[in-house]
């Protein structure tokens, strides 16, 4: 991650990462604290 290059060690992990990246493209990412989910 230091060079901003993700490394996947399994095909299943790489597939999940690719699907996540595709679903986030073109949308705004929101950062929230974990405490905000459990109020």
The residue extents of the domains of the chain are 1-39
| The two three-digit tokens of residue 35, written as one number | 């405490």
pTM above 0.85, yes or no: no
32: its two tokens = 């929230």
pLDDT at residue 1 in the model: 55
Instruction: Give CA–CA dist 39/36, Å, rounded.
Output: 6
Is residue 14 within 8 A of residue 8, CB to CB? The reply is yes
The 10s digit of each residue's pLDDT in 6-24 is 788 999 999 999 998 898 8
Beta-carbon contacts of 8 under 8 Å, excluding residues fewer than 6 positions away, are 14, 17
What's the chain's average pLDDT?
A: 86
């Amino acid at each position: 991650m230091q060079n901003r290059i993700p490394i996947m060690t399994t095909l299943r992990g790489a597939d999940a990462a690719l699907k996540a990246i595709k679903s986030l493209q073109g949308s705004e990412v929101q950062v929230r604290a974990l405490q905000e989910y459990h109020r």
